Amino acid sequence: MAMHIAEGRDFPNFMYGQTYMGSVESYLAAAVFRVFGPSLVALRVPMVLLFLVFLLVMYVLARRLYGTGVALVSIGLLALGSRELYGYELVTEGAIPETLLAGAILLLLGHRLLETAGRGGDSARRWLLAGWGLTVSLGLWSTMLVAPFVVTSGALVWLGCRRNTGRVAWGGWSMAAGLIVGAVPWLAHDLTHAYAESSVATLIDLYVHGGTGLGSGRSAGLASQVTNTVTTSLAYITGGSAIVHPQSPPAWPLGFDGRWQPPTDNAAATVWGIAIIVLWAAGITSALRALRRRGAASATNESADRRPRLYGRLAMLISAALTTAAFAASPAPGVAPANNVRYLVGILVATPALIAPLRALFSNAPRLARAVRAGSLGVVVLSLTMGTVQAFRDATHGQNEATNRQLIHALQRHGISRIYAGYLDCGRLTFISREQIVCAVLFQGPGDSLRPGFDRYLPYRATVEADPTAAYVFRSGDPRNGTLARSTCRWQNHWRTLGYEIWQPAEPCGAAT
């Protein structure tokens, strides 16, 4: 997508092959491609920058709500991560950095609008409202995972408007302008397509029936979904996988075997998940008690200054709760509680709210409080550090761009430019070769057969199918190699290189049905 945008060939509103998840990452990568050319490094530069901006916004938000100490600890923890977290934050699969950044910006703008309500400065608030509206529509276009933050920050905006009684119109047009401008790519698609092909209809269907991408997996029901969320998913999305399953392969997107499933009854993962819920409950309780105390002393200036901060804390905690509840109510954790944790990524925005309660624990026993705080943070830091080491180790042992280029050159030496391959290899080889190698996806079919897979860009499939001698390229050990070996096809050449088996037919083969 980024290559096509950079070359002016296409300007997609949504990711290829689907009508949801906006193409923000593709347009950002296209800008980098225009300067440095397409490469995996150039593809990930915008992801790194988005995440760095998220850390900056999070620091400002956490400092406003909880103080400098909590803000610094939060940023330190968010800068580390497990293999899964680094993958979600840096692999361009869509939605993850946008969820984090949009969520933090919405909460910051909502808090600022409430904090400045009734103080004059209408011009500044109009700009804040326009920014809030723009972030809402751009965020929702990019991913519906932003929705919980829209709800909670919207509540802060509404409270701010209530404080400006009689002056509601001061920002209405600004907010509307921001909402409309950000929604242009979304509206351009949905207003020109039938409802069944719209992003709204697609998202509803995915949520109801499950968009896990894990084949025929089915959820066992709501009880299983909730249990798996607590006993597995919460630990994985908050970086606990290095401790709770230290010997397991990484989950998606760094682990590409959809059949791998971690145990959902692991004691360490369960304790980790319960600890997250306890800290969340402590944060909610603390904020509500403080609001009650401030309400009783509402005549003081100090109370007026603190209430926006407390409402901001509640908004952060409720955003995490809504994110978790929506995830647990969907089929995703029932099918694959570790591989699907990307849908829970929004709770990372609540990191300061989960750290802050540790300060108040055992307030009457300072030594015990220090021990509990040190021990709790030590376990988290240890897990995140171990995960960071694992992530870098996996990166150095995994396939890199140089290996893919060697494979591309090997194919070109044999005159091969059209191939069938697996889903992930297809996208990577086509991209790195700059479409000199064009690939179509083949999945393992019923029985001993192969069938067309998920081709996001259908012109690629048509190009490959038009070549009767297109080669087959699968990783060594892939069962699709066995299917080809047992087929009636006559092979001009069959060899192994760089961890792949290449099958070059001597005549039209028809292995794919």
Residue type, 47: M
- Residue holding tokens 């249990």? 227
pLDDT tens digits for range 5-57: 999 999 999 888 888 888 899 999 999 999 999 888 898 899 999 999 999 99
Phi first, then psi: give them for residue 51, nearest 5 degrees: -70, -40
- In the 8-state DSSP scheme, what is residue 164? T
Is the alpha carbon torsion for 202, 205, 210, 216 positive or negative? negative
Q: What mean pLDDT comes out for the span 363-391? A: 77
Quick check: 513 pLDDT over 70? no
Beta bridge mates, 505 = 491
User: CA angle, corner 190, sides to 188 and 195, nearest 5?
Assistant: 160
Q: Would you say residue 402 has pLDDT above 70?
A: yes
Contact (CB, 8 A) for 108 and 132: no
Statement: residue 383 has pLDDT above 90 = no
Return the minimum-mean-pLDDT range out of 163-167, 323-327, 354-358, 506-510: 163-167
Alpha-carbon distances, residue 208 vs 212, 216, 326, 327, 447 (angstroms): 11, 15, 11, 11, 30
Residue 404 host element (H or E):
helix 401-413
Q: What is the mean pLDDT of residues 406-425?
A: 92
Closest to 6 in 3D by CA, of 17, 28, 14, 19: 28
* Average pLDDT of span 171-192: 86
Residue 405 has pLDDT above 60, yes or no: yes
Q: Write out pLDDT tens, residues 293-314.
A: 876 555 445 455 678 999 999 9
Angstrom distance (rounded) from CA 153 to CA 503 = 55
Distance CA 92, CA 99 (A): 13
Q: Which residues face 450 on adjacent strands?
A: 444, 512
pTM of the predicted model as reported, rounded to 2 decimal places: 0.88
pLDDT of residue 117: 78
Q: Comparing C-alpha atoms, which of 286, 305, 268 is closest to residue 354?
A: 286
Q: Distance between CA atoms of 217 and 335, rounded to whole angstroms?
A: 6
Q: Give the Cα separation of 474 and 477 in Å (integer).
A: 8
Answer whether 379's CB lies under 8 Å from 243's CB: yes
Per residue in 472-507, pLDDT (tens digit) is: 999 998 899 999 988 888 899 999 998 899 999 988
Q: At a CB cut-off of 8 Å and minimum separation 6, what does 442 contact?
A: 420, 421, 422, 450, 451, 452, 453, 472, 480, 512
By the 8 A CB rule, do 83 and 250 touch? yes
Contacts of 173 (CB under 8 A, 6+ apart): none
Question: What amino acid occupies position 54?
Answer: F
DSSP 22: B
- Smallest CA-to-CA distance from 8 within 36, 27, 35 is with 27
Give the chain's end-to-end CA distance (angstroms, integer).
Answer: 28
